[in-house]
Structure 1
Amino acid sequence: MNREHIYKRLGYRFRDAALLEQALTHRSAGRGHYERLEFLGDSLLNFVVAEVLYRRLPDASEGDLTRMRAALVREETLGGVANDLALADAVQLGGSALKSGVYRRRSVLADTVEALIGAVLLDADLETARACIERWWADRLVTLPDPETLKDPKTRLQEWLQGRSRPRPEYAVLEVSGPPHRQHFRVACQLADNDAAVEGTGASRRGAEQNAARAMLEKLDA
């Protein structure tokens, strides 16, 4: 691991190199891995992003702020930040994990970014860690998504119906199949004030309900 290259990517030079080593060490490599730092970084990331959104969007509702924060701290976004920082080749793994390509999994890269945030906080202070977050997320904080596009299908369906003074949709589990560790759900979504009904499937009840709600929205739009 070339520390100088990493310092340049991060825009931060660690005083305690051991913290950087820990932040980049996956649990497969043994003790001294990044999971405790990840816990710390996750908490700080959520706080800083929430504060930035609160300051920049004075007219946004609590719901909109919540949805935008979730979009900015989700695994997909963290994985994108990790790619921006070229962290895949810097993660330290044990032999079996290295052979399986774990270091390229988005979840591992996302965890590494959170661990680095925690490491910067311990190595320096809150303001320095905050500055790193704002710098690493700079483009994403400028091009914020429309909150309406972040609403899940169930929320959008309920709001569509409420806006027309219609009752809430009803969901019912039609079938659960597969072994306990790999269940598959089939759910129906029906409108209480007419016979319109659709189905959705998913690996969880919630996922199946979301897919059913999406199908109902498409049916109503049509």
Structure 2
Amino acid sequence: MKGGLSGETRDWLKDTGFTVADEGRWVEALTHGSTGASRDYQRLEFLGDRVLGLSIADWLFERSDASEGVLAQRLNALVSKANCAAVARQIGASAHIRLGKQARDDGAADSDNVLGDIMESLLGANFLDGGFDASRALVHDLWQAQTEGEVGRSKHPKSALQEWAAGNRRAGPKYELVDRSGPDHAARFTVRVSIRNVGEAEATAGNKQEAETEAARIFMEKFG
């Protein structure tokens, strides 16, 4: 895992639209903690998460007259880990992630958690090398299909379930983490949601929030 960017990775970054100036920064952005390197993508991920959030919020504000609640619903869906991972797959990021052998053998290169983090870390690196305007334009380009599509337009499953329970004079849904398995970079969370005197449903996903969302969706399919 030593050394700089390969020519293939550098070309991929530039062809995708990233601004590559400080090569070491981009090595860091693509380096997973499993490599044992002194610097990995976590700090850049923290920064990129904010760049992404503001870029999408700006896009939604300028192109929609929707209420704050509707805008927030779409924003949360568009910047979710699963959606970031989908964009990372779309641009072919998996082939360029720097992983330790065990993490790679465990499938970390295709993990929603890792790919979502990598996507944000790349945006963080781009912000530092190219500035906010260039990063916002890149986000609008890479997220175009999602922003112009149906992502986040329907009511969030957890909100729908909460409203269903209230409308049917039931106690609110109760979410319970029933299992966590796998290594940190490929963790799996199983959540059970239940409503007293109605029933329960379970779902498994790469993080607790997504498992809760899927469990709520399954519950609504079964009982809603």
What is the Cα deviation at residue 115 of structure 1?
0.3
The answer to whether the aligner puts 1:15 opposite 2:25 as a matched pair is: no
The answer to whether the aligner puts 1:70 opposite 2:59 as a matched pair is: no
Q: For the residues of structure 1 that align with 2:28 and 2:179, how far apart are their CA atoms?
A: 40
Unaligned stretches of 5+ in structure 1?
Answer: 191-196
Q: Which residue of 1 aligns with 2:99?
A: 93
Map 1:78-89; keep pairs closer than 5 Å: 78-89=84-95
Q: For the residues of structure 1 that align with 2:68 and 2:124, how far apart are their CA atoms?
A: 27
Q: What is the RMSD of the two structures over their aligned residues, measured on CA atoms?
A: 3.4
What is the Cα deviation at residue 160 of structure 1?
5.3
Q: Which residue of 2 aligns with 1:169?
A: 170
What is the Cα deviation at residue 150 of structure 1?
3.0
The answer to whether the aligner puts 1:5 opposite 2:11 as a matched pair is: yes
Instruction: Select the structure of larger CA radius of gyration.
Output: 1
Give the TM-score of the pair, scaled to structure 1. 0.76
Unaligned stretches of 5+ in structure 2?
Answer: 1-5, 181-187
Opposite residue 198 of structure 1, the aligned amino acid is V
What is the Cα deviation at residue 156 of structure 1?
2.5
Report how many aligned residue pairs link the two structures: 205
Q: For the residues of structure 1 that align with 2:64 and 2:173, how far apart are their CA atoms?
A: 38
Q: Which residue of 1 aligns with 2:48?
A: 41
SS in 1 for 2:92: coil
SS in 2 for 1:83: helix
> Aligned to 1:52, which of 51, 59, 71?
59
Contact 2:42 2:121 in 1 (8 A): yes
Q: Which residue of 2 aligns with 1:156?
A: 160
Give the TM-score of the pair, scaled to structure 2. 0.75
Q: For the residues of structure 2 that align with 1:183 and 1:143, how far apart are their CA atoms?
A: 28
Q: For the residues of structure 2 that align with 1:177 and 1:77, how far apart are their CA atoms?
A: 25
> Aligned to 1:127, which of 128, 133, 137?
133
Map 1:203-214; keep pairs closer than 5 Å: 211=215
Provide Cα deviations, 1:145-167, integer angstroms capped at 9, x if missing partner: 463x23224x32554577xxx57
